[in-house]
Structure 1
Amino acid sequence: MRKRRDALKNPEQELRVFRNRSLLAAALVVLMSGALVTRLVYLQVVQHQVYTTRSEDNRVRVEPLPPTRGLIYDRNGRLVAENRPTYNLTIVPERVDDLDATLELLVDILDLPPEKAKVFHKRAYQRQRPYQPALLMSELDERQIARLAVNRYRLPGIEVEAQLLRYYPDPLIMSHVLGYVGRINAEELRELDSGEYAGTHFIGKTGVEKQYESVLHGKAGLRQVEANARGRVVKEIGRTDPVPGQDIVLTIDERLQQLAYDLLDGQRGAIVAIQPQTGDILAMASSPGFDSNLFVTGISRKDYRALRNDLDLPLYNRAVRGQYPPASTVKPYMALAGLANDVISPDKTIFDPGYYKLPGFDRRYHNWLRWGHGRVDMRRAIEVSNDTYFFRLAHELGIDRLSAFMHRFGFGEDTSYDVYGASKGLMPSREWKRERKGQVWFPGETLSVGIGQGYWLATPLQMATALSVLANRGQWVTPHLARRIGDEPVDPPPAKPDIKLDDKWWDLVRNAMGQVMSGSEGTARRVGAGLEYRMAGKSGTAQVFTLGNDERYNADELEKRLHDHALFTAFAPIDDPQIAVAVVVENAGGGSSHAAPLARAITDAWLLPDDKALDKAAAEIGERGTHGTP
């Protein structure tokens, strides 16, 4: 029995087991306590800043404050781009638990059509910087604001913001000058400074708005706010105010711009007026225009499709991008090129039988007056716009000297200071044709260039710029649109060196252009009748397609869009030029008949002291005309 009890109970062994188990339990306690302490140290010390930030974010958050966009005025202080208060609907996707469900709820609350629902989804999922509000909808009305307020508890991450929205009082006439602002897209978002554009939903897209975006935008601010558990702001803790954008005063005269647009009367074309002494662009109208306010909050597909499909291309800025053969408006510059290169004298005469033939060739290059002008010198050649004289002069100059001289007047170059999207046009040369077309230059092509046809292309802005240099007797001014930025005046440096020529030559060409308006044979003499000042002008009629050697132009047999373009350039007064104007009216016909009256109306409006000069100038348009000469 004793042996059996000893076998059943062994105190030493039990003590040994107890001790081992106690040591194991103690080790586990120590190990788990160490892990717990380590985790606490990691969270409280190593990750202290991270969790402090997260904790504060539940209570305090930083919100961007977008700056107020600068205003734009015309030269007389008339507001042409302003800001109007509006309410925007925004969403911060990171603060929304179920984005799709929230968007569907918004569509239901606001009772929006299906196409708006698609827009909501597209804008909400568009790439944004973290915790930056995405713009869902602008210009909320009172009913929509009230419905959102009632359902606010159901819409975390959704806010109704009061902001200023761009508005253009005269959208049609100023559309191409000012351009417009629009919503920031994904590509722009990647390129923009995240700090400067925090909270900003709109950016300049074209025109002055694009050119001076950095000036107009300003600098964003921020504020610290305390929010409740639902993310609603309870109070503001701190603030750094935004810096508003600077205001811009343009060189444009809004009344003259309005007149220029009205004179075009819906026809495709452009009018540019420049002040020769300063380079101020007084008017830069392109017709037809478009309603730039449609683009501010996002144009509908229907409206955008209508603009894109319009055959008259209302979105196309003809004043700075339209490239036209300058036609006979270049003849005064051709005369100066001949004098400067010593290939002709002012008094040298030629006989015009109605055509010119290159030496050794039988092909006839016809004057616009088929029976010719008889004996002509330089003065009369400009007055009557004789083609034969300038065919011969172009041949004697050659394309190399001709092209080089025209570059001095800015042809083939963008010499503007701040005109967004200005085209360089095309001043052809031997090298240009070899590089572009892989062909040699032919003598007959020089003749076409000599009367502003062929490959030569210029914009209305270039024509007005070159004319300003001529009016200034070769002194260069740089055309520009900004007159003052904030309190600082804008005075751009000359774009090119002055053109030094004999004063007698400047006088000869300027007076010959005066004869265009007042001479007995002047091509625009009827438009120049009754002028109260001396005006220098030059007409041009640009062919839209090339006629065969023996073909004659007959507008009655052609579709309207194949009719010639009407051009006219003018400056006044001759002795003290105050304005230089270039007019292009597409497919209108003769320059003297259809473009010269518009130039006369613009100069009348600018120069006449009468307060009713604008109305008088517009009224005179229908009362004047001339023969269908170039």
Structure 2
Amino acid sequence: MYHKKMKSKVVRITCIGLSILTLAFVSILIYSFYGSKKTIQPDALLHQYMANINDGKYEEMYTLLSEQSQAIVSQEDFILKNQKIYEGIEGKNLTIKITKIDELGKTQILVSYDTYMDTLAGDISFSNEAYFTKNDNKEYRLLWQPQLIFPMLNPDDKVRVNTLKAERGDILDRNGEVIVGKGIASSIGLVPGKMSDSKELDIARVSELLDIPVDHINKALNATYVKDDTFVPLKKIPKDQQELEEALLEVPGIKISDIAVRVYPFGEKTSHLTGYIQNINAEELKKLKEQNYNANSIIGKSGLEKIFEDRIRAIDGYEIIVVDSSGEKKETLAKMSPKDGETLKLTIDAQIQSVLYDQFREDKSCSVAINPKTGEVLALVSTPTFDSNDFVLGMSTDKWNVLNADTNKPLFNRFKVALCPGSCFKPIIGAIGLTTEVIKPSDNYESSGLSWQKDGSWGEYKVTTLKEYGDQVNLQNALVYSDNIYFAKAALNIGGDLLAEQLTNIGFQETIPFELGMYPSSFSNTGTFDTEIQLADSGYGQAQILINPLHMASIYSAFVNDGNMIKPYLIYKESTVPEYWKEQVFTKEAAQIVRNDLIQVIENGTGSDAKIDSLTLAGKTGTAEIKQSKDDHEGTELGWFSLFTVDEHTENPILVITMVEDVKERGGSHYVIQKVKTVFEKR
């Protein structure tokens, strides 16, 4: 009996002990979970909140708000307000510096801090305060109010970003005429509420007149923002299309308003030179975003608009302001002033540019005009061409397709490329021969008839020329009568290595130092003259000789500059002190001899149709054969003509070089002569 009682007591004691241990263990677990959990302090919580702004984590920001704040502002409204403000001002790199922490009783803390932030309008900095309170779990949460974004921001206030528009710089010719500048176009659109009941017929008529698809018009009219009284813009057209405007105004609902645009007053005459602007694309924006470009930026796409983008671009300014419920400005938070683009004045003479374009508008051609004494580039023309205004106003898909499909390649800029020069290369060979003393003016190569080969190793291949002119086969006569055989012999006498060296000295295989990128000239695909036949053909500008027209103009300038090649330039400057690209490429004597011989080309030779009684002119014709082989009778011809003033007292010296494609059966280079002559007659 005693043992049974003792046993029962032991059991009870054991149970009690186990219960105590269990309670103790549970207590330890509870303490471990709650008692040891460190409460995030308000300053750290504020840093976390601000870091979420930088990362665009607006939902996570909302979780840091107190219950009281969440009862006042919904998650949707909170996210919308913060997102619109911070992303609207392009806020980034937001940092804070805690300046003071005050305890306001047992459950509230006030944190004072300074804020720094980058925006599209510049830096913003301000001092602010944030209140924190403990919730039921003893955790701090933020008491949110609009002033947390900006101290002066009341619940009904709004943050607004105003764009302060800048003007893109104009481009002027040497006489101050606007080549690219500000202008007005007509914006054509529809007002839905004023359209007739025959809406489909009206839209079809507008589609026909404006050359835009019906689907495009319907899509614009059905946009979410459109109401009955909304003006829905469809297309911009030049102001001078009065007949088109009158036809459009017969359609009910049509509205025409003026709109500021960038204009190219000379249109097609200057388009390959000026290029054009358009909206920036995604790829460009990715590269340029750090240079104050945005999705609405306009950027130069080609020509001068692209080359001088950094100088003429308009950098819009911005101001970030707080306005009250009535729209009145309360405070300016940040402001970046607009920066207008620079106005550029060119060496281009719009009158010469226009005359050259008018003369060759129906041809596939390029023309370069320079002042050979100063290097000022007076004209750069490529035909056929396009109209830069079409790109700015908005080109239809059909028109774009026509431009791209045109076999005459109006989008191809011919004055930038290197081309086979034909006989216009002969004066260069003559000057090199004289400079290296391989050729003397009195040397007589003797007549070889109309065809010639060095020896039997050339097989059936022979160099041919068009005219015999007696037994005085010297440099002057060879230039006057454009003798291929003379210059083939001259090239062989100079030799491949020396000729390659001399051509390199005058800028072949080298980039022309000029604002617009030009293709370099070249004399061989391999950098050497691989065969005697190649060397001989190179002497009269065939084989693999390719030369850029502007480069040719610089070389020809040496004939009036005592052997120095002028450096061409495009940006006008008051001082016209000549700067040479290459000095003493020819001896002074060689330059003078070739110049005088080229005068005779105009006075008595192949260029005599260009003679003008009141002017002393020098020049050279050239016809380059473009064919697959010597026996190819289907090949085409390039017609060249160079013409320049030589009188030291000429008030406005000028050198023009023109190339026209497909002159075969049109008189060869003689097709070009009269057209170039017109430029000199109209000066």
2:100 corresponds to: none
For the residues of structure 1 that align with 2:625 and 2:568, how far apart are their CA atoms?
Answer: 28
Q: Does 1:74 align with 2:150?
A: no
1:454 aligns with 2:540: no
2:565 touches 2:582 (CA, 8 Å); kept in 1?
yes
Which residue, out of 431, 439, 447, partners 1:352? 447
Shift of residue 254 of structure 1?
Answer: 0.9
CA 1:268–1:355: 2 relative to 1, 3 Å: same
Letter in 2 for 1:565: L
Q: Structure 1 vs Structure 2: percent identity of aligned residues? A: 26
TM-score w.r.t. the length of structure 2 is 0.66
CA distance in 1, matches of 2:393, 2:607: 47
Find the partner of 1:543 among 619, 625, 635.
625
Amino acid at match of 1:605: K
Deviation at 1:258, TM superposition (A): 0.8
The CA distance in 1 between the partners of 2:218 and 2:547, in whole Å, is: 47
SS where residue 682 of structure 2 aligns?
helix
Deviation by residue 1:18-64 (Cα, 9 ceiling, x = unmatched): xxxxxxxxx9x99998326977653559x975576997996122233
* Contact 1:281-1:481 at 8 Å conserved across structures: yes
Larger radius of gyration: 2
Contact in 2 for aligned 1:348/1:378 (Cα 8 Å): yes
Q: Which residue of 2 aligns with 1:130?
A: none
> What is the letter of the counterpart of residue 315 of structure 1?
L
SS of the counterpart of 1:192? helix
Matched, 1:506 2:591: yes
Higher normalized contact order (CA 8 Å, seq sep 6+, divided by chain length):
1
Tell me which residue corresponds to 1:14.
Answer: none
What is the alpha-carbon distance in structure 2 between the residues aligned to residue 194 and residue 87 of structure 1? 34
Distance 1:483 1:400, change over 3 A: same
CA displacement, residues 168-220 of structure 1 (integer Å, 9 cap, x when unaligned): 11111011111111111111111224563357531111111111111111432
- Aligned with 1:301 (options 397, 420, 426): 397
1:510 to partner: Cα distance: 0.4
- Secondary structure of the 1:375 match is coil
Question: Which of 322, 325, 328 is 2:420 aligned to?
Answer: 325
Aligned to 1:534: 616
- Give a deviation string over 1:327-385, Cα, whole Å, max 9, x none: 11011110111122222222110112222322452445233226575431111111111
Using the alignment, how far apart are the partners of 1:301 and 1:236 within structure 2?
48
Structure 1 counterpart of 2:499: 402
Q: Deviations over 1:532-586 (max 9, x none)?
A: 111111110011214536x7x6xxxx5xxx4311101121134457111101111
Select which of 376, 385, 389 maps to 2:482: 385
For 2:165 and 2:259, locate their aligned partners in 1 and report how far apart those are by CA, in whole Å.
Answer: 9
How many angstroms apart in 2 are the aligned matches of 1:508 and 1:36?
A: 104
From the superposition, tell whether residues 309 and 492 of structure 1 become closer, same or farther in structure 2 (CA, over 3 Å): farther
Once the two structures are TM-superposed, the CA of residue 398 in structure 1 deviates from its matched residue by 2.4
Within 5 Å, which residues of 2 pair with 1:547-558?
Answer: 547-548=629-630
User: What amino acid is the match of 1:567?
Assistant: W
Work out which of the residue numbers 642, 661, 666 in structure 2 matches 1:586: 661
* TM-score normalised by length of structure 1: 0.71
1:518 to 2:591 alignment: no
SS across alignment from 2:395 = coil
Q: CA deviation at 1:72?
A: 1.2
| CA distance 1:373–1:415, shift in 2 (3 Å) | farther
The answer to whether the 8 A contact 1:183-1:296 is kept is no
- Cα drift, residue 406 of structure 1: 2.3
Q: Hey, what does 2:40 align to over in structure 1?
A: none
CA separation in 2, counterparts of 1:583 and 1:276? 15
Query: What's the counterpart of residue 342 of structure 1?
Result: 437
Contact 1:183 1:298 in 2 (8 A): no
- Equivalent position of 2:365 in the other structure: 269
Q: Does 1:188 align with 2:284?
A: yes
- Summarize deviations over 1:370-426 as a string: whole Å, max 9, x none: 65754311111111111111111111222332233223333443314212x422233
Q: Distance in 2 between matches of 1:116 and 1:494?
A: 56
Report the Cα offset of residue 299 of structure 1: 2.3
| Equivalent in 630, 640, 659 of residue 567 of structure 1 | 640
CA contact (8 A) 2:277 2:391 kept: yes
Change (3 A) 1:35 1:250: same
1:623 equivalent in structure 2: none
Aligned 8 A contact 1:324 1:542 in 2: no
Q: 1:319 is aligned with what amino acid? A: F
Q: How many angstroms apart in 1 are the aligned matches of 2:309 and 2:292?
A: 12
Q: How many residues align?
A: 508
* Aligned counterparts of 2:500 and 2:221: Cα–Cα separation in 1: 55
Q: 1:479 to 1:58 in 2, by over 3 A?
A: farther
Which residue identity does 1:544 align to in structure 2? I
Provide the residue aligned with 1:605 in structure 2.
Answer: 682
Q: In the superposition, relative to structure 1, how do residues 193 and 222 fare at CA in structure 2: closer, same or farther (>3 Å)?
A: same
Q: Report SS of the residue matched to 2:355.
A: helix
Aligned to 2:554: 465
Determine the structure 1 residue equivalent to 2:229. none
Contact kept, 8 Å, 2:419 with 2:546, in 1: the verdict is: yes
CA distance in 1, matches of 2:253, 2:566: 58
Residue pair 1:513, 1:538 contacting (<8 A) in 2 also: yes
Name the residue aligned to 1:415: 512
Gaps of 5+ in 1: 1-26, 90-106, 125-134, 150-160, 434-439, 607-630
Query: In 2 relative to 1, CA 43–527 (structure 1 residues): closer, same or farther, beyond 3 Å?
Result: same
Q: 1:60 to 1:514 in 2, by over 3 A?
A: same
* SS of corresponding position for 1:284: strand
> Residue 497 in 1 paired to residue 582 in 2?
yes
1:35 and 2:35 equivalent? no
Does the 8 A contact of 2:463 with 2:488 survive in 1?
A: no
Task: Give, in angstroms, the shift of residue 237 of structure 1.
Answer: 5.0
Q: Is the 8 A contact 1:428 1:456 kept in 2?
A: yes
Match of 1:23 in 2: none
Q: Distance in 1 between matches of 2:139 and 2:563?
A: 82
The DSSP-based 3-state class of the residue aligned with 2:596 is helix
Name the stretch that deviates more: 587-596 or 184-193. 587-596
More strand by share: 2
1:203 corresponds to which letter in structure 2?
I
Asked if structure 2 preserves the Cα contact closer than 8 Å seen for 1:417 and 1:492, the reply is no
Cα shift readout 1:439-483 (whole Å, capped 9, x = no counterpart): x81211111111111111122222222222333222232222221
The CA distance in 2 between the partners of 1:453 and 1:334, in whole Å, is 12
**Letter matched to residue 540 of structure 1:** G
1:92 maps to none
Match of 1:432 in 2: 527
Q: Does 1:65 align with 2:138?
A: no
Cα shift at 1:274: 0.3
Instruction: State the Cα distance separating 1:301 from its structure 2 match.
Output: 1.5
User: Would you say the 8 A contact 1:356–1:391 is kept in 2?
Assistant: no
Structure 2 unaligned residues grouped into runs of 5+ = 1-34, 36-66, 68-105, 109-132, 189-202, 208-212, 226-231, 238-244
- Does the C-alpha gap of structure 1 residues 65 and 139 become closer, same or farther in structure 2, counting only changes over 3 Å? farther
CA distance 1:56–1:73, shift in 2 (3 Å): farther
CA distance in 2, matches of 1:406, 1:333: 9
Q: 2:533 aligns with which of 422, 438, 444?
A: 444
SS of the aligned residue for 1:531 comes to coil
Alpha-carbon distance in structure 1 between the residues aligned to 2:375 and 2:296: 34
Judged with a 3 Å threshold, the aligned counterparts in structure 2 of structure 1 residues 338 and 53 are, in CA distance, closer, same or farther, namely farther
Contact 1:410 1:465 survives alignment (8 Å): no
Amino acid in the other structure paired with 1:581: V
Distance 1:199 1:492 in 2: 44
Aligned partners of 1:446, 1:118: CA distance in 2, in Å?
Answer: 64
